[in-house]
Structure 1
């Protein structure tokens, strides 16, 4: 296989590719003597190794962006803690990102990438024209939506955070800040579209890195203008500045990839109509997913400080979720859409099982580790300024509850692209509808007795229910082919997690005072060394149990 790939020379090229990195799954080879062409199918092992390499690239840049995002969250937490003002600024930050997932990353990307790949197989010009049409349509649509939201923001806040309504100052501040931040939706949605274009040609780094710009901009802008305007206003304005820089950065990356597209308004184009038709169920599905978050936030708004606590906890558990789950979700959609177009069942099975194994290998130890070390983690990251020790305890409880659903969230991000890659947007919609009912019911059932913890527990329960439905539908429709060894693999990983947890718990018990030293450096070193020992125990045991093979990974 290695020799074969090295022999791919000038007269061997990937069908429909713009460059070597955008390889599809069929090679066209021209015979030098006869001029005849032969199609050669790539081995599934090559597909799996490429998935792993792409996943590492996306995970690395996602890790960098999450680190900067965490620094940004530390900065905001030190200024506002879990106060009323903190709740308002967290709502203002979440609002444009929630709608972004509806109009860009959720619905649009899931149907845009498969059609874009089809156009790229025809020609780069066709793909560029299609990109230009969608870019123009998205921009005009967002301008109208932003204008309407500016007018009806108070009514929207009554729906999103009804618990604020009886608190006049808090409600008015939230409406005011949301009117400042909501135009960010335009920039972040266009950034997501440009990122989808780059992801389609296997250039994942730029889009994964773009959130770093947001975090840096928020910190610098707020520190610079904090003496001239209120912190809440400067932080909100920094979001707009960050959006302008993000979309500018993505434009440069697209241009460097030689994918310049014209600004075209042509809603009558058959491919645009096809995208809009497919976007219907996808938009509803994404909208319902965000409605799910809205409902959780609405319920949390009746508990003082709960929105801030859940937001800070969410930032921590999003770390492994984004690095593992989102990384695979990002690369799986373009990969699977090409595989299904070539009807390569072997490659599809290989890529699905590789992703599931990797998801289990990374998510299960992360879950155990977060639960055991939740309090020291929150103490180090957030406990300063107006963020109190009680805030630390509350946030640690929330993150432990969220962590219970972490494997389900990650595996769901691996299974969901299977539907969209097949052009199926209706099944995810059905699954989302069932899941939101479970999530809402559990939140309402548990919030009285468990407060903020109940909302996090309800979210985790709904995540496992959602995963169960995804697995049921994919296997029933013969779209998922689980290898027989997955169950044994999962058992081995759980055994490794138990051993790792025992070791971490013992270290925490005997060296507890160092986790809460008055010196930050000692706390960081203690936590870092404990995590390192735990990881060593986990992966060492996994190697002994033959759950992982480092020699094969090197290859």
Structure 2
């Protein structure tokens, strides 16, 4: 098993390294600003389905059925079943793509509601008359409040800027600030139960707004901004927008008046990029299908290597951004779409060369296909629990400017060990456990899962401790350059620590789920996943008002551990951890804590290096990583948390 694991992990490592280079360049070009938020939100939508279909639900349902068909009926009938499933998937997702692209504005409004305008008035309805509107929006996590006059011409903007006044703008801070008012704090507050802080006369930085007596006027650029102080505790912003009547004979021009808590360009950019990227879902779902076929034939290399194509396309695209000055948003979006096509082509060609041809045929409903989609439906939730959690986090994070990007960069770091270990273990374990159960070797199947747990924890516990001890130095070394500032590194580092708490849990989910999927049980993990998602939503809402984006990361970790406990409880009669293995787990923790202490003291000694040049930061982090790996490896062997013999047996 470990040999196959190393094949998958090796290609995954190359992909992750190239992915880091990709993300470093993305950080350099767009930092954590509006384009970064838009790109992450737009990319996460189809990418969520990629991870669910590619590494979870589809393979969880398809591999056991395909494996049984291959074992019982032979190669040709099995490939006919695969072709029928492929063609059905192509039809369903093709129709979905055609429908979704023109509806992307409404879909993104559901995925990132915080990006949308909190107030939107078509000024054509006002015309030459006068009007007054009360605007109130929650400000938990907000950095700025934006006022925008959106029109097609500068003349129209000037016309309405001369007529619109922001009257009595004020921030509201809740008295007592109790946890029982979380939802109120997220979406607004009652002025009668709040401290009122007026904007005029207050210490608020303003841009694009001109004082007119006690009121404010949006200047002729059509964009005004009130900057909230760092670390503020305001629950809401409230103002009255008054529109004066037009002067006699003055032409009334078409325009819209909007109020945002995120930069006004973020939402339209998100919709634009998502429309281009959405075809990625179609091609990556088909790629996942072909990966399942190849994995069943014990061909792991190309499916594991395919993600490298995505990173190479991105690196090429950003090279053109630097060389030719290509626009950032369109370039990033088209890189995703092109990479999806190329990855599918690579797997399609591999299948044909390895005598595993999957053809496009007329979809034929039959018992096997029906069973596949029945198993796949609940598995979408069960196998995609981490992605669903991240999507929930994305929705809540959209109410904090920059938070979507903070979570993305920190997620990329903790997903290095998760991708190399957890996902690779899941890919290798599922067909192996399936074969063992088909052969009646239940004890061997259970032992394979326990061995997977041991391998996963051996590598993820020290990674967790390291990310808790030096999260900000890790992020700063990897990303802090160009548009990615020191403040961005700090905020991403805090999120990384929150995610790190759940890293062993994420890996254990990937190890334990095959114990259900191999027995064609997707309903039980679905129910458990639903409970975990509910926990994630609740904890995110509880923590976001106080910890902002860090609370979302912590909630994701809590949800992962809840899912692990539920999965483990359901496998108690099947999978048993012996006393000797429990001792090994404890020794892994002790060795990791000792390693963490050594790394922490070394970091304190090298603190000035992290304040220096990029080369000094890289050198300091390399020293800390080398020290940590050496200390942990020695302690793990000395305490017999693992042995050379264990590793050799794994390769056997």
- TM-score with structure 2 setting the length: 0.75
Residue 272 (structure 2) aligns with? 176
Aligned pair partner of 1:74 in 9, 24, 43: 24
Residue 533 (structure 1) aligns with? 627
Residue 483 (structure 1) aligns with? 578
Counterpart CA distance in 2 for 1:345 and 1:70 is: 40
**Is the contact between residue 101 and residue 286 of structure 1 (CA under 8 Å) also seen in structure 2?**
no
Aligned pair partner of 2:390 in 272, 276, 293: 293
Deviation at 1:82, TM superposition (A): 1.1
**C-alpha RMSD of matched pairs (Å):** 1.6
Counterpart CA distance in 1 for 2:648 and 2:563 is: 35
Counterpart CA distance in 1 for 2:451 and 2:83 is: 35
Quick one: higher RCO (CA 8 Å, sep 6+), 1 or 2? 2
Counterpart CA distance in 2 for 1:171 and 1:498 is: 44
Residue 639 (structure 2) aligns with? 545
Deviation at 1:473, TM superposition (A): 1.1
Counterpart CA distance in 1 for 2:594 and 2:350 is: 45
1:23-60 deviation per Cα after TM superposition (whole angstroms, max 9, x unaligned): xxxxxxxxxxxxxxxxxxxxxxxxxxxx1111111111
Q: What are the equivalent positions in structure 2 for 1:353-372 lying under 5 Å apart?
A: 353-372=450-469
**Is the contact between residue 180 and residue 236 of structure 1 (CA under 8 Å) also seen in structure 2?**
yes
Question: Higher Cα Rg: structure 1 or 2?
Answer: 2
Deviation at 1:211, TM superposition (A): 1.0
Q: What are the equivalent positions in structure 2 for 1:238-317 lying under 5 Å apart?
A: 238-285=335-382, 290-317=387-414
Matched, 1:380 2:331: no
Residue 97 (structure 2) aligns with? 146
**Is the contact between residue 504 and residue 534 of structure 1 (CA under 8 Å) also seen in structure 2?**
yes
Counterpart CA distance in 1 for 2:65 and 2:75 is: 13
Counterpart CA distance in 2 for 1:524 and 1:280 is: 45
**Is the contact between residue 376 and residue 516 of structure 1 (CA under 8 Å) also seen in structure 2?**
no
Aligned pair partner of 1:201 in 284, 297, 317: 297
Residue 131 (structure 1) aligns with? 82
Deviation at 1:523, TM superposition (A): 2.4
Aligned pair partner of 1:473 in 570, 579, 591: 570
Residue 348 (structure 1) aligns with? 445
Deviation at 1:270, TM superposition (A): 2.0
Counterpart CA distance in 1 for 2:566 and 2:455 is: 21
**Cα 1:125/1:173, change in 2 over 3 Å:** same
Counterpart CA distance in 2 for 1:446 and 1:333 is: 36
Deviation at 1:189, TM superposition (A): 1.2
Residue 109 (structure 2) aligns with? 158
**Is the contact between residue 489 and residue 547 of structure 1 (CA under 8 Å) also seen in structure 2?**
yes
**Is the contact between residue 86 and residue 358 of structure 2 (CA under 8 Å) also seen in structure 1?**
no
**Is the contact between residue 464 and residue 504 of structure 2 (CA under 8 Å) also seen in structure 1?**
yes
Counterpart CA distance in 2 for 1:204 and 1:418 is: 21
Deviation at 1:141, TM superposition (A): 0.8
**Cα 1:552/1:409, change in 2 over 3 Å:** closer
**Cα 1:283/1:498, change in 2 over 3 Å:** closer
**Is the contact between residue 194 and residue 250 of structure 1 (CA under 8 Å) also seen in structure 2?**
yes
Residue 538 (structure 2) aligns with? 441
Deviation at 1:385, TM superposition (A): 0.7
Question: SS of 2:378's equivalent?
Answer: helix
**Is the contact between residue 405 and residue 461 of structure 1 (CA under 8 Å) also seen in structure 2?**
yes
Question: SS of 1:485's equivalent?
Answer: helix
Which moves more between the two structures, 394-403 or 241-250?
241-250
1:346-392 deviation per Cα after TM superposition (whole angstroms, max 9, x unaligned): 31132122111111111100101112121221111110111110111
**Is the contact between residue 351 and residue 358 of structure 2 (CA under 8 Å) also seen in structure 1?**
no
**Is the contact between residue 105 and residue 193 of structure 1 (CA under 8 Å) also seen in structure 2?**
no
Aligned pair partner of 1:111 in 61, 65, 90: 61
- TM-score with structure 1 setting the length: 0.88
Counterpart CA distance in 2 for 1:426 and 1:81 is: 41
Question: SS of 1:152's equivalent?
Answer: helix
1:182-237 deviation per Cα after TM superposition (whole angstroms, max 9, x unaligned): 01111111111111111112211211111110011012023226636411101111
**Cα 1:123/1:164, change in 2 over 3 Å:** same
1:454-478 deviation per Cα after TM superposition (whole angstroms, max 9, x unaligned): 1111111111111111111111xx2
Counterpart CA distance in 1 for 2:473 and 2:386 is: 32
**Cα 1:289/1:532, change in 2 over 3 Å:** closer
**Is the contact between residue 66 and residue 81 of structure 2 (CA under 8 Å) also seen in structure 1?**
yes
Residue 192 (structure 1) aligns with? 288
- In structure 2, the gaps of 5 or more residues are 118-259
Counterpart CA distance in 2 for 1:551 and 1:149 is: 53
Counterpart CA distance in 2 for 1:541 and 1:105 is: 34
Which moves more between the two structures, 88-97 or 279-288?
279-288
Counterpart CA distance in 2 for 1:93 and 1:82 is: 15
Counterpart CA distance in 1 for 2:5 and 2:55 is: 18
Counterpart CA distance in 1 for 2:622 and 2:51 is: 34
**Cα 1:351/1:178, change in 2 over 3 Å:** same
Deviation at 1:521, TM superposition (A): 3.0
Counterpart CA distance in 1 for 2:325 and 2:590 is: 56
**Is the contact between residue 313 and residue 395 of structure 1 (CA under 8 Å) also seen in structure 2?**
yes
Counterpart CA distance in 2 for 1:552 and 1:107 is: 31
Q: Structure 1 or 2: larger helix share?
A: 1
- In structure 1, the gaps of 5 or more residues are 1-50
Which moves more between the two structures, 346-355 or 439-448?
346-355
Aligned pair partner of 2:39 in 73, 79, 89: 89
